[in-house]
């Protein structure tokens, strides 16, 4: 699949301005286009949205673990995203992309997926001076839920262990499908779901 980077940046800028005008305080730049953070930051600043935060999906890998989400939303994409997402075998590129996004004005950088890229997450945390978030994607969620449903693993312990490993690797925040369940458990004084 071929992607027109510059034309895509124009669309991203238009979408970012529309979202900021509508009151968004944090924009998630997930497209992995070269220069997207700089283009959006310039446009927002020019219109006075200097306090609108940018979350850059800096280390977003072309992963097999997105499958359940793509199926759930009935993704119509043909081809793959390997032309603009990162190669899962390339550890260093994630750090390079995070540093570029930080230099372009990102307020937060994301590593996605989380579980199979804990080394990248740790490297990014050590390299940047801004918050690092990690995204525990649908395939990671589905594997634990399926194994637990079959009685192969302890569900609650496995969920907690997966999240602790992401935090231990350096994530300041974790996006996970278990967020409300974990929050409810913590609010009630339990250490897990």
| Residues carrying an active site annotation | 60, 112
Cis peptide before 113 (omega within 30 of 0): yes
- 108 bridge partner residues: 55
134/154 Cα distance (integer angstroms) = 23
Residues 6+ apart with CB under 8 A from 156: 192, 193
**For the purposes of burial, counting CB atoms within 10 Å of the CB of 127, is it exposed (0-12), middle (13-18) or buried (19 or more)?**
middle
User: For residue 20, what are the CA distances in angstroms to 9, 93, 117, 123?
Assistant: 16, 30, 31, 31
Instruction: Output the CA angle 99-175-78, nearest 5 degrees.
Output: 80
Residue 60: phi, psi to the nearest 5?
A: -105, 115
């Amino acid at each position: 699949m071929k992607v027109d980077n510059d034309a895509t940046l124009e669309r991203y800028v238009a979408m970012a301005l529309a979202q900021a005008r509508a009151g968004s305080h944090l924009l998630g730049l997930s497209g992995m286009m070269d220069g997207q953070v700089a283009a959006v930051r310039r446009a927002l600043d020019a219109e006075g949205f200097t306090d609108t935060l940018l979350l850059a999906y800096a280390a977003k890998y072309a992963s097999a673990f997105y499958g359940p989400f793509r199926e759930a939303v009935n993704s119509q994409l043909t081809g793959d995203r390997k032309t603009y997402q990162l190669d899962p075998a390339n550890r260093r590129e994630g750090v390079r992309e995070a540093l570029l996004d930080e230099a372009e004005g990102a307020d937060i950088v994301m590593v996605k997926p989380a579980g199979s890229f804990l080394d990248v997450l740790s490297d990014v945390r050590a390299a940047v001076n801004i918050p690092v978030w990690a995204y525990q994607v649908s395939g990671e969620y589905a594997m634990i839920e399926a194994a637990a449903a079959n009685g192969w693993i302890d569900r609650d312990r496995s969920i907690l262990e997966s999240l602790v490993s992401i935090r231990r690797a350096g994530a300041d925040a974790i996006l996970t499908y278990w967020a409300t369940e974990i929050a409810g458990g913590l609010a009630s004084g339990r250490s897990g779901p």
